[in-house]
Structure 1
Amino acid sequence: MRLEDESAPLREAVPAEYADIVVAVTELGSVTTLMMLLAVLFWWHDRRRSALVISYAVAGLAVLLSVETLLGLPRPPEDVWIASIEVDGYGFPSGHAFAAAVVYGGLVSAYDRGRDWRALLGAGTVVALVSLSRVVLGVHYLGDVLVGAGLGIAFVVLMDRLTRGAPTVGFAIALVLAVPAVYVTGAAPDALLGLGGAIGGVLVAGRIDRLPDLRSRLEAVVLLAVGGAIAVVVQVVETLVTFAPVLVALYAVLVAWVFLAPAVVSLLETAVRESRVA
């Protein structure tokens, strides 16, 4: 099922000196990269659609962690890894492949590009590259990434039908899924991230349609700088905390901040303008 023998030729096809490139590719499917991508899209583009995909990502995280933990299948042995990278969790299905399919596939769906071959090709290429990078690095077997990507696509289809384009519904589903995930995983950090993200989304997603529009390119740049800086600060604080309830609260604040940052920056810009006039 995991296609162990079929994975070896893929690992051997890429020389070890290209490991850094493969690591860069695999980062396209990491939680940090995907959430930053979605945050920027939310700040600069269509907020409702981007928020919907954020809810998919949070809900998907809970599903993946529950499935991985319940199956409990290990990763390939470390002697086949071609790079020293930090990995945790179990080996089946692949979290990076699943997350890439949920986010990039979710964006295609949420932005109504399902019949645009260029969008499908672009998203499919990224998902394939991320998935194959995990096999090349040696941290997953080919079967792990195929199942991970397949589950991700199926999850997007299911969430599309359940949410009907409503981010609040997506986050409510994420909250329902996150609670058992915390229990199943023994309150693993990523499970707490899913729970906190779901709570933050449920609390503030209803305000999305009332957020002010961007008024200038300068405001867009300020929003990225301020929004990104606060998000980084929250993540740094998170590394210093071990108490689970506080971690959940921090993750809730992080997601809530992504949604509320446009309003805060708009108020700051208005205040600056009024002070100059005065």
Structure 2
Amino acid sequence: MRLEEESAVVRDAISAEYADLVVAVTELGSPTTLMVILAVLFWCGSRRRSALVISYGVAGLGFILALETLLGLPRPPESVYLTSIDVEGYGFPSGHAFASVVVYGGLVSAYDRLRDPVALLGAGALVVAVSLSRVVLGVHYLGDVVVGAILGVAFVTAMSRVSRGMPTVGFAVALALAIPAVYVTGAAAYAVLALGAAIGGLLTTGWIDRLPRLRSRLEGAVLVAVGITVIVALRIVETIVDVTPLLVALYAVLVAWIVFAPALVDRVGGTILGSPGADS
């Protein structure tokens, strides 16, 4: 079922000298990278559609963590790893493959690009690259990533139908999935992240339509720079907080920051320029 022999063929196709490149590719499916990508799209693109995909990602995180834990299948042995890499959790199905489909495929769906071959090809290429990178690194078998990707497609389809284009509904589903994930995983770090992010999204996404629009490309660049800086700062704070309720609150603040950053930058920018903010 996990295609161990086929996985060995994939691993043998890439030598260790390309390890850094493979690690860079696999990061395109990591929660932190996906969070930053979605945050930038939220700040500079369609906020409602981007927020919807953020809710997909948060809901998916809770779902896949609970499923992996319940199945309890181990990763491949460390002896086959391409390079030294820290990995946590179980091996089946692949969370990176699942998350890549949920986010990149979710963006194609939310932005109504399902009939656009370029968008489909781009999202598909990212999913395949991330999925194969996990096999090449040796942290998953080929069957793990195939099943993860298939589950991702089914999950995006289900979330699209249930949420009906409303981010608040998406975050409500995320909360419903995060609570059991925290219990099943024993409050694992990413399960706590899912819980806090779901709460933050549920409390803040009702304000999306009231947020000011960008007035210039310069303001957009400032928003992205300031926004990412605060995200990085919050992730640093995360490393020194070890109390679960405080971490839940921190992750809720993280999502709240993503939502409200445009209003803050607009207000500050208007003050500096001596003109009222766009939301005044």
TM over 0.5: yes
The percentage of counterpart residues that share the same residue type is 69
Q: Distance in 2 between matches of 1:274 and 1:22?
A: 48
1:33 equivalent in structure 2: 33
2:194 equivalent in structure 1: 194
**Deviations, residues 14-72 of structure 1 (Å, cap 9, x unaligned):** 11111111111111101111000000000011101000000000000000000000001
Q: Distance in 2 between matches of 1:65 and 1:257?
A: 25
For 2:274, what is the secondary structure of its paired residue?
A: helix
- How far residue 5 of structure 1 moved from its aligned partner, in angstroms, is 1.2
Residue 95, structure 1, aligned to residue 95, structure 2 = yes
2:22 equivalent in structure 1: 22
Number of equivalent positions:
276
Residue 53, structure 1, aligned to residue 53, structure 2 = yes
**Deviations, residues 93-125 of structure 1 (Å, cap 9, x unaligned):** 001000000000000000000011111111011
TM-score normalized by structure 1?
Answer: 0.98
**Deviations, residues 170-217 of structure 1 (Å, cap 9, x unaligned):** 001001111011000000110000000000000000000110000011
2:278 equivalent in structure 1: none
- Amino acid aligned to 1:89: G
Q: Distance in 2 between matches of 1:44 and 1:244?
A: 32
TM-score normalized by structure 2?
Answer: 0.97
**Deviations, residues 218-239 of structure 1 (Å, cap 9, x unaligned):** 1111101111111111110000
1:42 equivalent in structure 2: 42
Q: Distance in 2 between matches of 1:236 and 1:28?
A: 20
**Deviations, residues 63-94 of structure 1 (Å, cap 9, x unaligned):** 00000000010000000001111110100000
2:231 equivalent in structure 1: 231
Q: Structure 2: where are the runs of 5+ without partners? A: 276-280
Q: Distance in 2 between matches of 1:7 and 1:230?
A: 40
Counting only pairs closer than 5 Å after superposition, residues 1-278 of structure 1 correspond to structure 2 as 1-274=1-274
Q: Distance in 2 between matches of 1:131 and 1:217?
A: 34
- How far residue 274 of structure 1 moved from its aligned partner, in angstroms, is 2.1
RMSD: 1.0
Q: Distance in 2 between matches of 1:19 and 1:138?
A: 11
- Amino acid aligned to 2:69: T
- Amino acid aligned to 2:53: V
- Amino acid aligned to 1:167: P
For 1:114, what is the secondary structure of its paired residue?
A: coil
Q: Distance in 2 between matches of 1:111 and 1:130?
A: 22
Which aligned segments of 4 or more residues in structure 1 are displaced greater than 2 angstroms? none
Q: Distance in 2 between matches of 1:175 and 1:260?
A: 20
Q: Structure 1: where are the runs of 5+ without partners? A: none
- Amino acid aligned to 1:179: I
For 1:241, what is the secondary structure of its paired residue?
A: coil
Q: Distance in 2 between matches of 1:252 and 1:213?
A: 23
